Structure 1
Amino acid sequence: MKVLGMISGTSHDGIDVAVVDFELVGSTLEGRVGHTASTPYPDALRSRLIAALPPAPTTLAEVCELDTLIGQTFAEAAAAAITAGGPVDLVVSHGQTVYHWVEGAHALGTLQIGQPAWIAERTGTPVLSDVRIRDITAGGHGAPLVSVLDGLLLGGREGGAGALNLGGISNMTVVRDGELYAYDLGPANALIDAVVTSRGLHPRGFDEDGKIAASGRVDARLLEVLLEEPYYRLAPPKSTGKELFHLAYVEQALATAGVRPSDADLVATLTELTVRTVGDGVRAAGVAALVVSGGGCRNPVIMDGLRGALPGVEVGPSDDLGAPADDKEAIAFALIGWLSAHGLPGTAPGGTGARGPRILGTLTPGSGPLALPAPVAEPPRSLVLSR
């Protein structure tokens, strides 16, 4: 079964796609990764999206328009992927998260926009969407959903392993001795990107190759204030997002610290915040290896900082496991699509905190009758990816 996975993450910079051809061989699911790509949002659309995100006020009219415009952009990205990689049996669209409602350390709701009907209409292919909410209804956080992929990829590693994703928010899956748990650690690129964008430090809105951070020095007082954030001391499972970690959060921390660092020093300090919070989480997990994916793994300041903070831990990209670091989340959503289509849960309760595993998503039919493959009685025990 060939599945197209699509996601725009918390960095909201564009759409990542991955076509994966899955085949179940005994208890092992084999996935051949075909076409992958990343399509940036048009500048005007990205600006409107950023302007509508919390804590900014917005209107239902703007949400409706963004839902349509993002859905159309996803539809064009899906059509391009199908043209390049051939027909697919199912499209899985995560859409764009615009709000993740958490109170008292519990997720109560989540909203992803990007109307899937535009994808179904443009491609004629059924679309699985709205994949997080079912886990939340079962008491979970709806995140990190990539943990189901991590569990299948890393389950056999001796000494335990952590799978770290460095997107807007950092999240980690820990697999050790047959047990799995996962949670959001804190901001990875969210605060860095917010500062870079607001101060016009890079035309693409992020610290490319960590050059800005490398040119600055960490402000010890500001870092001390940032590390006082109560979220870091909550026990997993837990989830967070840009509802907490945004530009106004940085401005409040600056006011509390009573400092005015240079732009480079501010970016260096926020980068060190990512290194510290991730390092603390990995040390607490006690794993022997850390497999890293997401845009942050291309930032040498973060990666060098993690290697320095984690002596004795093997730190490397997820590419080594057949999941290219830039495409891993899109591959994960393709996997969720395969699981849902075969009547299998797409969650790992230890990863999200749900009462039990759940089959995920809402299906939008394509141009013909909706036909699903025969159900599979037992979920796969491992996943092998190849190109």
Structure 2
Amino acid sequence: MQNASERYIGLMSGTSLDGIDAALVELSSNTAPRLIATHAVAMPPLLRQALLTLCHAEQASFAQLATAEEAFCQLQAEAVNTLLRQQTLAPGDIRAIGSHGQTIEHAPNGYNGSPAYTLQLDNPSRLAELTGCRVVADFRRRDLAAGGQAAPLAPAFHQALFQANNQDHVILNLGGFANITWLSQGTASPLGFDTGPANVLLDVWYQRHHNGTFDGNGRWAAGGRIDHALLERLLSEPFFHQPPPRSTGRELFHLPWLARHLSGEEKAQDVQATLAELTAASVAQGITQLIGETPFTLVIAGGGAHNGDLCQRLARYLPKATLSTPDAWGWPADWIEAGAFAWLAYRRLHNLPSNLPSVTGAAGPRVLGGVYAP
């Protein structure tokens, strides 16, 4: 690996489908990743609806896929090109773009008897053409091919970013779904897995009853009452009781899944409060499964870090945790995931493995991603 610093742009569009995050990151072999600049573009409503329609669709035409993919790629290019202009950089100043794409379906254990698969809508060849930058993409399927879950991939980046101090940390990403990474001085490799839904159900239930896209600061949930019978039914989902490695997505947790557990008598606001409690309870259950009653620092990242009600619920479930944010490491809570894909691109171009078999269950370390020249 080279010691000289290199600049990469990481692109991330998560399961919340709220937009594309672009993070400009400086990386080298002998220093911690450094966030230089960021830019986000909102997901246009028509594209968001097209992507939602494709998520776990039983049928979709090639034309639907191609149309959504082209619109998504144009939006990615807008994010990259704007960030380059803002930083007065040329495409050649960037070693590569790390593109996650948009997850359409994730079935690492197969679906209805099918082989394992994970599908991210992306067109790295087109993105290279639109930006003039080398692109690294398709990170997940190599881990899947080695028998892994292909998710979460961020824990390897968490290790690179947070492991430098001598404390035990749990890194919690609260995106559409929640995943945790356990960084302990007493274990050789990080541990982690998806704990279940975070914002995905909160957002879709809020959108069903309001004009907005999300429950700002969890205010609506905070005003509701927990329906403990409903919470018990939701927590009976087998996923919550599976041992790791495990990962999940919209193919399991979606509005019809929630509807199957509703009696029809619940107040809408109480359902929102119960969904927030579900997120906190399932996260706490996962963390306790990993570390027991050990005191630790909980570093909360992702959009859910801005949800005060959800953070209060987590603090109640985890009294031995000291709550923190990634800001102490120079990373605002919203930019960890995009930064991770910049780091993954760096690892690919230096022919270094970037999955963690201790997290995904893969047969061994693997070099992830394919490279597309401009």
| Same fold by TM-score greater than 0.5 | yes
Q: Quote how far apart the aligned CAs of 1:321 are.
A: 2.1
Inter-CA distance 352–46: structure 2 relative to 1 (3 Å threshold): same
Task: Find 1:185's aligned residue among 182, 195, 199.
Answer: 195
1:75-86 equivalence runs, <5 A? 75-85=77-87, 86=89
- Gaps of at least 5 residues in structure 1 are 367-387
Deviation at 1:264, TM superposition (A): 1.2
For residue 16 of structure 2, the aligned residue among 11, 17, 42 is 11
Asked whether the 8 Å contact 1:134–1:361 carries over to 2, the reply is yes
Query: Aligned match of 1:35 in 15, 37, 40?
Result: 37
Structure 1 residue 206: deviation in Å? Answer: 1.3
Are the equivalent residues in 1 in contact too, given 2:56–2:250 (CA < 8 A)? yes
Structure 1 residues 240-281: Cα deviation after superposition (integer angstroms, max 9, x where no partner): 100000010011111xxx242222111111010001001111
Q: How many Å separate the matches in 2 of 1:285 and 1:101?
A: 24
Shift of 1:304: 0.7
Task: Say whether 1:70 aligns with 2:72.
Answer: yes
TM-superposed CA distance for 1:104, in Å, is: 6.9
The farther-off stretch of 2-11 and 316-325 is: 316-325
Once the two structures are TM-superposed, the CA of residue 125 in structure 1 deviates from its matched residue by 0.8
In the alignment, is the contact (CA less than 8 A) between 1:107 and 1:141 conserved in 2?
no
- Distance, in Å, in 2 between the alignment partners of 1:45 and 1:356 is 37
1:93 is aligned to 99
CA-to-aligned-CA distance 1:80-113 (integer Å, 9 cap, x gap): 1111122312111111000112337998111111
* 8 Å Cα contact 1:78-1:119 kept in structure 2: no
Secondary structure of the corresponding residue to residue 119 of structure 2:
strand
| Counterpart for residue 135 of structure 1 | 143
Q: Report the equivalent of 1:378.
A: none
Equivalent runs, 1:95-244 vs 2, <5 Å = 95-103=101-109, 108-158=116-166, 160-176=168-184, 177=186, 178-197=188-207, 199-203=208-212, 205-244=213-252
Q: 1:309 aligns with which of 317, 322, 326?
A: 317
Q: Which residue of 1 aligns with 2:290?
A: 285
TM-score by length of 2: 0.91
SS of structure 2 residue aligned to 1:179: coil
Q: State the shift of 1:17 in Å.
A: 0.9
Look up the match of 2:3: none
Cross-structure match for 2:56 = 54
Aligned match of 1:20 = 25
Task: Give yes or no for contact 1:74–1:114 (8 Å, CA) kept in 2.
Answer: no
- The answer as to 2:279 corresponding to 1:274 is yes
AA of the residue aligned to 1:10: T
User: Aligned partners of 1:233 and 1:330: how far apart in 2?
Assistant: 30
Question: How much has 1:117 moved relative to structure 2?
Answer: 2.2
Deviation at 1:216, TM superposition (A): 1.0
Aligned residues: 358
How far is the alpha carbon of 1:76 from its aligned partner?
A: 1.2
Q: 1 or 2, which has the higher strand percentage?
A: 1
Gaps of at least 5 residues in structure 2 are: 1-5
Out of 266-275 and 316-325, give the one that drifted further. Answer: 316-325
- Distance (Å, rounded) in 1 between the aligned partners of 2:110 and 2:78: 39
Aligned identity (percent) is 36
Q: Is the 8 A contact 2:301 2:334 kept in 1?
A: yes
CA contact (8 A) 1:127 1:365 kept: yes
Q: CA, structure 1 residues 193+169, in 2 after alignment: closer, same or farther (shift >3 Å)? A: same
CA distance in structure 2 between the partners assigned to 1:330 and 1:190 by the alignment: 19
